[in-house]
Structure 1
Amino acid sequence: MSRGSQGDGARGLLAREQRAARPLLVRAVAIGAGLVAVGIAEAWLVAVLLARLLGFGAAGLPELLLAGSLALLAAGLAMAQEKAQIAAGEAARARLRDAAFGRLLAMGPSDERPVGARAALVVERVDALEGYFARWLPAAALALIGPLLVALAAGLADPTSGLILLAAGACVPIAQAATGIGAAQASRRQFGALQALSGRFLDRMRGLPTLVLFNREKAEQAALGAQAEELRRRTMRVLRIAFLASGALELIAAAALACIAVRHGWTLGAGHPDPAGALFTLLLVPAFFAPLRAFSAAYHERLAAQGAAADLAPLLAPQEDRPGLLLEGMPPRVTVTFQDVRLSYDPARPPALAGLSFRVLPGEALLLMGASGAGKTSVLRLLMGFSRPDAGRIAINGRDATALRPEELRRLSAYVGQRAHLFRGTIRENIRLSRPEADDAAVLAAAKAAHVADFAEALPQGLDTLVGEGGFGLSGGQAQRVAIARAFLRDAPLVLLDEPTAHLDPGTEAEVLESLKRLCLGRTAVIATHSRALRNWGAAVLEMSEGRATGARMAGE
């Protein structure tokens, strides 16, 4: 994707989310404008009280009490504004995270990004956008509204002082633009380094046993250290530019204060006609630059958001409306037909499927056998809706399967892969994952059918025994039986198995195969496997090579 299209996508994403967050942002800006107005009134009362201390005017206790009341009101408004901004940021973060996670779930295995990169998108990139809505957008609006209100109040007291403040305010965007070009580039590079480091760290943590096994831990430690140093350098560059922008703003504020002080102190001399007005304009200088300081402090949030939005935009881009068809009801039995199906993932590489044809009737099982890369898993991906064929026809009960929504295709099937992933929770909760609305009786029946109950009885709390992330606490064969129990509980008419016994010892494999045979009984089954034991099932066998069928053996032959 070109840089221009990335920028357009990022701007489009930020604009869409800004419209969605508008009610909360308007509330935060309105409270901020009220805080500025209270600050102006408080500055006038303080100026009147100071003039009285210097021997001018007749201010007294009422003005002092009113100034104290306004200070309390300002503190309350500041708290309310902070809460409103936090609410806007949290709402945007929740909305973006739900959308990003939902899109990743919809893409499933078709998303080829590493796990670390996907985690960085959903966590770090979305977190980087929170400040854009919580701080930058309110600060940008108040940077325009606040100084104009303050300059107007100063102009009513002394037109020249009001013009000085307006001229100083006009210099702020120029200083921001001068540092903003380099800051934007530095921020993008920093985010790139952060994503690379976080993705590599997560991937290496997942593969830590392999690194230790091949004695690569020292090399990976050095590589991670180099990437961390690169991130540090880029982060320090962003901070240097931020400090430069802050210094430019303070210089402009000091110059404005000096100009107003010179006007009232030297030009008009000791016989000033309005000492309270002079003090008022001087006290308004901090109030004038407070929104601009907040704007400058939040400027890096905008830069960070642009880089994060550029990464998220391709994932969250609006998709064409391709609703597909919905199932009227779950068919009790299905017939699967592939007719000259072709599929290619990369034009520069040979096709994954090159004219594959077969047919599986209800109650039959088809074994897809062949070397790795023959196209067996691609068949399963097509049947689950994670890929679409480039040519040919896939039919379910004689109807075009590609006309269904992908999620409807997945409703038809129960899948068991090479390695069952169990989440941290009880065995019962992990089984119920396939059908959350199932009652305890259905879960128990699935556990018995998959022989999970056999080993669960020996556990401290049976099916309510807690297991760790990734199935920690269970053996590979036990975790695979939990996956089979999920398939039993799902009770779908199509069973898809992808090397379900690839990592099991012969004894455990025989036990798991017995459960799988019961699972496939009466259902349509498509099984990708290398297992010799599965050949003894008496199922039809389709030999595959380079995406083609090279031979077939019918059941019983």
Structure 2
Amino acid sequence: MRRRSVPRSATPDTAGDAAARALLAREGRAGRRRQAAPVLLGLAAALCGIAQAWLIARLLAALLAPLLGNPAGAAGWPELLGAALLALLQAGLGVAQDRAQLAAGIAARARLRGAVFARLLADGPADERPVGERATLAVDRVEALDGYFARYRPAAALALLVPALVAAAAALADPVSGAALAVAGLLVPVALALTGIGAAQASARQFEALQRLSGRFLDRMRGLPTLVLFNRQEAEAGSLGRAATELRLRTMRVLRVAFLSGVAQELLAALALVCLAIHHGAEFRAGGGDLAAALFTLLLVPAFFAPLRAFSAAYQERLAARGAAAALAPLLDAPVEAGGLVLEEVPPRVVLSVQDVHLRYDPARPPALDGVSFRVMPGETLVLAGPSGSGKTSLLRVLLGFRRPDSGRIAINGKDATLLAPAELRRLSSYVGQRAHLFRDTLRANIRLARPEATDAEVEAAAEAARVMEFAAALPAGLDTLVGEGGYGLSGGQAQRVAIARAFLRDAPLLLLDEPTAHLDPGTEAEVLESLRRLCLGRTAIVATHSRAARATLGRVLELSAGRVVPVARAAG
């Protein structure tokens, strides 16, 4: 075996805000190269705007000079043509900037969504979040970060660079005007801070409401038949309506903050324009002043505040991103278990030895496993029996690598299995659970999920061994018949045979079965047990079950109770 190293992620900060900031900063550094393109294009567009304002100011000054009793200026068609060309260039740069921002957002979302999916898949059943919440994390929360990377970060950079550039250009024409614009620019963060107090908390509460609504809606849609049977559909519709109303109210609070910040921004722009007009008017009344310079500085006011308006609008994206990042950080920043050993090849047979294994999920609760020990040889089937909560499923989770035991030893062929990477434990095993989950695809594709590179002949052989062909032959397209999501269109026994066919196709030396005949009628259970007996031949098999038929027919029985092995009573001799 060779050792593979897996990097550890940073330990999450105890404060949600700090963890969110760290996540956003880390992802911002990762996408810095893509985010530089819209900034450079925005700077180029700003330079075009400054040059265009100067040409227009000269043209207007030449037109207005006779009205003011001054000699006509020299500006004319060249300035008009130059301004038109600069306007076209500026529009083209704006389109290119939008595309660059879109690309930056797409790249950031793809990177984050890949990381979220990787962590969710790595945690597997150990992640106890409801399915709706996990779907919200991978879809809505990641989607909410798009504006932060596509708009906010470029806008924040341009809000610093472009106003400074415009103020410098204004100062070259008139120092007082440049200073006035600089002061107005410094007041913008103050206005944003005053209008944005509590906005981050409002955005976080909005996302919490969205997550609750998404999770509840998905769970209720899945359980819709049950709700109808118990006549609870009206009550649940009312609950969903109240959750939707809560989301609407929280969304309106966030929008109210955005509206107030926009009003403050427009008020500052109007004040800056009035101040410049008063200043230049006073100069003209005093008999001085440069008309072209005055018009130039007035025309620069929109160019000065345009990136600040964009930043103000994008600031709401930052608030939304902080709320989304606070939810994603615990998942993405959770410590990754150290890399384990990787098998060079899967052994054809395994001897499984479990010695004094302990596992506790919560210190306040009794242990799930309390000193469990047993040994299973190749070709032997061990039946784990016992009441619910006795530790059967917990033991299977440990053997599948989804939980690490607190103490004890698990050996495969005499070597410590806890040194293996969790994925390697799953390479060694085939698993069949209580309910087979079938995807909306053909029967053939659902079976091939166990080994995607398998040939059609191998898939058909596995289907034959699991007795899938007995019912598939009567379907319109045989194994190529499309089944609905969750196995819609098949009975429970038929879906379970498909799961057994997956195990046949995987052909792993260790077989782990968790209540494989639960929810089946006696006739169907007998048929499934027959398939399972064939599946267990030559393999090391562990079956967790309540079924008396399984206990009687599959193999040696190990009784569990409260996480302990129940001693077998010996007959007096």
Q: 1:553 Cα shift?
A: 9.3
Q: 1:432 aligns with which of 425, 448, 456?
A: 448
Q: 1:196 Cα shift?
A: 1.3
Matches within 5 A, 1:149-298: 149-269=165-285, 271-298=287-314
Q: 1:542 Cα shift?
A: 0.7
User: Which structure has the higher relative contact order (CA within 8 Å, separation 6+)?
Assistant: 2
Q: 1:397 Cα shift?
A: 1.2
SS of match in other structure, 2:511: strand
Note if 1:111 corresponds to 2:123: no
Which position in structure 2 is the counterpart of 1:488? 504
Note if 1:81 corresponds to 2:79: no
Which position in structure 2 is the counterpart of 1:12? 22
SS of match in other structure, 2:559: strand
Normalization by structure 1: what TM-score? 0.97
| Mapped contact 2:533–2:554 kept (Cα < 8 A) | no
Q: Distance in 2 between matches of 1:4 and 1:136?
A: 26
Deviations 1:317-338 (A, max 9, x none): 1635611111121111111111
Which position in structure 1 is the counterpart of 2:560? 544
Which position in structure 2 is the counterpart of 1:130? 146
Note if 1:373 corresponds to 2:383: no
| Mapped contact 1:161–1:281 kept (Cα < 8 A) | yes
- Give the aligned residue type for 1:423: F
SS of match in other structure, 1:219: helix
Q: 1:548 Cα shift?
A: 1.0
Q: Distance in 2 between matches of 1:321 and 1:358?
A: 26
- Give the aligned residue type for 2:497: R
Note if 1:41 corresponds to 2:81: no
| Mapped contact 1:339–1:358 kept (Cα < 8 A) | yes
Name the CA shift for 1:46/1:512 in 2 (closer, same or farther; >3 Å). Answer: same
| Mapped contact 1:264–1:272 kept (Cα < 8 A) | no
Q: 1:354 aligns with which of 370, 380, 393?
A: 370
Q: 1:103 Cα shift?
A: 0.3
Q: 1:467 Cα shift?
A: 1.4
Q: 1:271 Cα shift?
A: 4.6
| Mapped contact 1:431–1:486 kept (Cα < 8 A) | yes
Q: 1:8 Cα shift?
A: 2.2
Q: Distance in 1 between matches of 2:101 and 2:554?
A: 66
Q: Distance in 1 between matches of 2:410 and 2:257?
A: 57
Q: 1:364 Cα shift?
A: 0.2
Q: Distance in 2 between matches of 1:169 and 1:538?
A: 79
Which position in structure 2 is the counterpart of 1:458? 474
| Mapped contact 2:201–2:323 kept (Cα < 8 A) | no
Q: 1:181 Cα shift?
A: 2.1
Q: Distance in 1 between matches of 2:569 and 2:526?
A: 23
Q: Distance in 1 between matches of 2:568 and 2:393?
A: 18
Provide the aligned length of Structure 1 versus Structure 2: 554
Matches within 5 A, 1:379-528: 379-528=395-544
Q: 1:343 aligns with which of 359, 367, 370?
A: 359
| Mapped contact 2:468–2:498 kept (Cα < 8 A) | yes
Q: Distance in 2 between matches of 1:551 and 1:320?
A: 38
SS of match in other structure, 2:75: coil
Q: Distance in 2 between matches of 1:321 and 1:357?
A: 25
| Mapped contact 2:203–2:320 kept (Cα < 8 A) | yes
| Mapped contact 1:541–1:553 kept (Cα < 8 A) | no
Q: Distance in 2 between matches of 1:453 and 1:8?
A: 57
Q: Distance in 1 between matches of 2:562 and 2:13?
A: 37
Matches within 5 A, 1:15-26: 15-26=25-36
Deviations 1:214-270 (A, max 9, x none): 222222112111111111111111111111111111110000000001111233238
Q: Distance in 2 between matches of 1:33 and 1:139?
A: 11
Structure 1 stretch displaced more, 423-432 or 285-294:
423-432
SS of match in other structure, 1:373: coil
Q: Distance in 2 between matches of 1:128 and 1:426?
A: 35
Q: 1:535 Cα shift?
A: 2.4
> How large is the RMSD of aligned CA atoms in angstroms?
1.7
Which position in structure 1 is the counterpart of 2:81? 65
Structure 1 stretch displaced more, 16-25 or 223-232:
223-232
Gaps of 5+ in 2: 1-10, 66-71
- Give the aligned residue type for 1:289: F
Q: 1:454 Cα shift?
A: 2.0
Q: Distance in 2 between matches of 1:536 and 1:508?
A: 16
Name the CA shift for 1:207/1:3 in 2 (closer, same or farther; >3 Å). Answer: farther
Q: Distance in 2 between matches of 1:211 and 1:52?
A: 78
Deviations 1:254-304 (A, max 9, x none): 000000011112332385542111111111000000000000001111011
Structure 1 stretch displaced more, 278-287 or 472-481:
472-481
| Mapped contact 1:542–1:553 kept (Cα < 8 A) | no
Deviations 1:37-93 (A, max 9, x none): 111111111112222222342222222121111111111100100000011111000
Percent identity of paired positions between Structure 1 and Structure 2: 69
Gaps of 5+ in 1: none
